[in-house]
Amino acid sequence: MSGLMNVKDQLKKHAQDTGSSQMQICFLTEDIARLTAHVNANKKDSSSRRGLLKKVAARKKFLKYLKRTDAQEHKKVLTVLGLKK
């Protein structure tokens, strides 16, 4: 858990930052990892699978927006979170 806090600290713009695109991507990535484990353990839980797909789509939109507005920050987020692009 401390590793995740370090990642969040790297992406924050200020102390109480929870709304920036970088932080939203971080929160969605955290939820996606948790839901992926749940869906793998519970194959027939289609409502959780749908929620997972919605979160993946939302993260994709945030990444697309960030790439369009600030390419440097987009690269930083991808490397810090370990996402492929």
Look at the block and give the residue holding tokens 């790297």: 10
Tokens at 56, concatenated: 């993946």
pLDDT tens digits, one per residue of 17-72: 888 999 999 999 999 999 999 999 999 999 999 999 999 999 999 999 999 999 99
3-state helix/strand/coil string of the chain: CHHHHHHHHHHCCCCCCCCCHHHHHHHHHHHHHHHHHHHHHCCCCHHHHHHHHHHHHHHHHHHHHHHHHCHHHHHHHHHHHCCCC
pTM: 0.88
Measured distance CA(51)–CA(66) in Å, rounded: 23
pLDDT on residue 8: 78
